[in-house]
Amino acid sequence: MADLTCKIAGITSPNPFWLASAPPTDKEYNVVRAYEAGWGGVVWKTLGEEGPPVVNVSSRYGAISYNGTKMAGLNNIELITDRPLEVNLEEMTRVKKNWPDRVLIASLMVPCEEDAWKDILKRVDETGCDGYELNFGCPHGMSERGMGSAVGQVPEYINMVTKWCKEYTKKPVFVKLTPNITDILIPARAAVDGGADAVSLINTINSITSIDLDAMSPTPVVDGIGAHGGYCGPAVKPIALCMVGEIARDPECKNIPISAIGGISNWHDAAEFIALGAGSLQVCTAAMHHGFKIVEDMIDGLSNWMDDKGYKTLEDFRGLAVPNYKNWGDLNMNFETKAVIDEDACIQCGKCFAACEDTSHQAILAENINGERKYSVITDECVGCNLCELVCPVDDCITMTPTPSDKPYMTWGEDPRNPINQAKKVS
């Protein structure tokens, strides 16, 4: 049996599966249920400063159902915790005491003032929590009050607040980044420079999930109108993977540990993030959709897959995909792959033909032989785009098959077809 022990920024949890800061971690009751179900850790729902009450509106979530699949993407307009700080701290203390082997991270969001951060750290330190996550990510509501992503979009603020926190606590500091920026490396580097022990990403993405065409308002509709919310769930996983990969391979980020978040729904997603350098994994939407019990397959599936692959610990495959994440300019122009259709497996739906004929390279031949529909690849026309393989509803029916070649590895920079090289030739 593989060992799933997870170590990140000096914190150890029995498995890498943590619940992200959100409603599933809003109180002792939920967190204890989560631990009982097997979650390795939680990031408690973001705490704010004492005083100004946080009040949520009614009608808070919207979702994308895609082809009958519920909640392919989830959107919310909730704020940070709306329970009194005192109550949260008392519960956190008790939870950590009763569950010493599980991780408990405190997520914090207070105004950009040194004293505010100093005060909150002092108070929360007493809970015995394992570390902090600075919520610089929430893109709605709190950002209108100059917090959350309003901080996360200004690298100087990230840097400044991180430094304060590192000064006022000895516990590890995770900086939670917002994806609502142009280049994730800029805030990430600001956090690294500020002394962050780890980064967590992604928080939610600015979104309007849908327009209610009767109310003529974005959803969720609050008394006839809507505001943009934060998007998460399976739909955002590719965006999160890309941002995690950017940081993992960036020399200036200095291998900062990453707690990956965004659409993680099963062990397979988890393994992908770890392969791309993630340390721990945080989950929100999948738990909100299916309940805490999903962690069982996350743990069991990851462990079985690791056994099959011969990986004994998470370190054995962590980051293995990072060296293979390159830029387009590093790709081999001499690589060629072609579609091959397995006629026996083909159910003759013609999806590949429609896709290729209408939108790609007219590289699929549609025939009707004695009433039998037959689809085959015109190999010379196939550019190896993968579209037919992607649309085909049958597993392993269309296989992209690399053409054997003895041509050397050649990037676009080295390619004679590149105008720069042609200019060189002329000169």
Partner 1 sequence: MSDLAKSKADENRADIEPRRLETTEYEKNFCDVLTPLDRNTAVREANHCLFCYDAPCIDACPTSIDIPSFIKKISTDNVKGAAKTILEQNIMGGGCARVCPVEELCESACVRKTQSNDPVKIGQLQRYATDHLFARDDAQLFERKASTGKTIAVIGAGPAGLSCAHNLSREGHDVVIFEARPKSGGLNEYGIAAYKMANDFAQKEVDYILSLGGIEIRHDHALGQHITLDGLRAEYDAVFLGMGMGGVNALGLDNEGLEGVDNAVDYIASLRQVDDKATLPVGRRVVVIGGGNTAIDMAIQIKRLGAEDVTLVYRRGTDEMGATDHEQEFAQTNDVRIKLWAKPSKLIGENGHISAIEFEYTKLDNNGRLIGTGEFYTLEADMVFKAIGQNFDAAPLNGTLDISAKGKIAVNDDGQTTLNNVWAGGDCTEGADLTVVAVQDGKKAAASINKFLAV
304 touches partner 1 (CB under 8 A): yes
Q: Which of 296, 238, 305 is nearest to 271 (CA)?
A: 305
# chain residues binding ligand FMN, by CB under 6 A = 28
- Identified catalytic residue from 6, 129, 138, 388: 138
106 touches ligand FMN (CB under 6 A): no
* Cβ-based nearer residue to partner 1, 293 or 312: 293
Among 82, 223, 300, 343, binds partner 1 (CB under 8 A): 300
Q: What are phi and psi of 356, to 5 degrees?
A: -75, -40
CA distance 95 to 101: 11
The minimum distance between CB 244 and partner 1, in angstroms, equals 20
Both tokens of 221, joined, read: 């509709």
Q: Which stretch binds partner 1 (CB under 8 A): 53-61, 221-229, 289-297, 398-406?
A: 289-297
401 touches partner 1 (CB under 8 A): no
Strands (E), 24-114: 41-47, 61-66, 69-76, 103-108
CA distance 44 to 129: 10
Q: Which of residues 235-254 bind ligand FMN (CB under 6 A)?
A: 236
23 touches partner 1 (CB under 8 A): no
Give residues with Cβ within 8 angstroms of 193, minimum separation 6. Answer: 159
What does 315 bind: partner 1, ligand FMN, none (CB cut-off 5 to 8 Å by kind)? none
Continuous H helices in 172-220? 185-193
* Cβ-based nearer residue to partner 1, 290 or 407: 290
277 touches ligand FMN (CB under 6 A): no
407 touches partner 1 (CB under 8 A): no
CA distance 152 to 316: 33
Q: Which stretch binds partner 1 (CB under 8 A): 121-129, 210-218, 254-262, 287-295?
A: 287-295
The sheet with strand 69-76 has its strands ordered as 61-66, 69-76, 229-232, 205-207
What does 300 bind: ligand FMN, partner 1, none (CB cut-off 5 to 8 Å by kind)? partner 1
165 is catalytic: no
Q: Which of 336, 327, 425 is nearest to 380 (CA)?
A: 336
CA distance 106 to 89: 10
295 touches ligand FMN (CB under 6 A): no
The bridge status of strand 198-201 relative to strand 173-176 is parallel
Q: Which residues are catalytic?
A: 138
Q: Where on the chain is the footprint of ligand FMN (CB under 6 A)?
A: 20-23, 45-46, 74, 76, 78, 80, 107, 135, 137-138, 176, 203-204, 232-233, 236, 261-264, 283-286
Q: Where on the chain is the footprint of partner 1 (CB under 8 A)?
A: 69, 266-268, 290-291, 293-294, 296-297, 300-301, 304-305, 307, 393-395
